[in-house]
A and B are shown apart, each in its own frame.
Chain A
Amino acid sequence: SQKIEQNSEALNIQEGKTATLTCNYTNYSPAYLQWYRQDPGRGPVFLLLIRENEKEKRKERLKVTFDTTLKQSLFHITASQPADSATYLCALDKSGGSYIPTFGRGTSLIVHP
């Protein structure tokens, strides 16, 4: 069956360090992989999208890598700040036909001052 796995344990890091979150998937051939931020009681907010033929994408302090051989994406936040504390979700879009984003359960990031 298709699975998207994100670490269910919260990631605790110190302010200024780089946070790295992982998204693994099985039985998917995604055309796109996306990362979202979600704060408690709010809807997810789109951060970055990476295509299957791209290895890396950057936006300000954010970097996403996509390895279709390993079936894994890594999401990095450099110079992390307490304001980066949130849950981060990855989502996959299948290629061909309908594009219905399927989400992982998310990983909680806590940045300590």
Chain B
Amino acid sequence: DTGVSQNPRHKITKRGQNVTFRCDPISEHNRLYWYRQTLGQGPEFLTYFQNEAQLEKSRLLSDRFSAERPKGSFSTLEIQRTEQGDSAMYLCASSPAVPGYGYTFGSGTRLTVV
């Protein structure tokens, strides 16, 4: 297992287009988190899953954002009708379900909306 994998690494899209990002967590990790990070700021929590259940989604930035983890393995984050303000780094992290361990992050997907 090589850690948390995110694809693509970079995405440039035109305003109004839909984009989807993929995250493959560490296979033994039950929990999967999505964060957004803009320049000079810390990661901002969006949503998380325990196995296939999405346990917190109230902090998704708008109804244009949605996430899935259909079989409790990989996850996707979709942004519909992208806006320039969506330009950011989107990070995925995974962890065991038992608390008290650090979170393993992927390298992120850099989204640029033009």
A and B assemble together = yes
In whole Å, how far is A31's beta carbon from the nearest beta carbon of chain B? 7
Contact B108 A98 (CB under 8 A): no
In whole Å, how far is B42's beta carbon from the nearest beta carbon of chain A? 4
Closest-by-CB residue of B relative to A102 is B45
Contact A31 B99 (CB under 8 A): yes
Is A41 located at the chain interface by the 8 A CB criterion? Answer: yes
Interface of chain A, main secondary structure: strand
How far is it, in angstroms, between the C-alpha of A61 and the C-alpha of B105 when the chains are bound? 23
Within 8 Å by CB of A49, from B4, B56, B100, B105, lies B100
Contact B101 A43 (CB under 8 A): no
5 A-B pairs closest in CB distance: A46-B102, A43-B105, A103-B42, A105-B42, A99-B99
| A24-56 contacts to B (CB < 8 Å) | 31-32, 34, 36, 41-49, 51
Determine the chain B residues whose CB is within 8 A of the CB of A51 once the complex forms.
100
Within 8 Å by CB of B100, from A6, A32, A42, A89, lies A32
Query: Would you list 25 pairs from A and B whose C-beta atoms are within 8 A, ordered by A residue?
Result: A32-B99, A41-B89, A41-B107, A41-B108, A42-B108, A43-B93, A43-B107, A43-B108, A44-B43, A44-B91, A46-B103, A46-B104, A48-B102, A89-B43, A98-B48, A98-B55, A100-B33, A100-B45, A100-B56, A101-B103, A103-B44, A104-B42, A105-B41, A105-B42, A106-B42
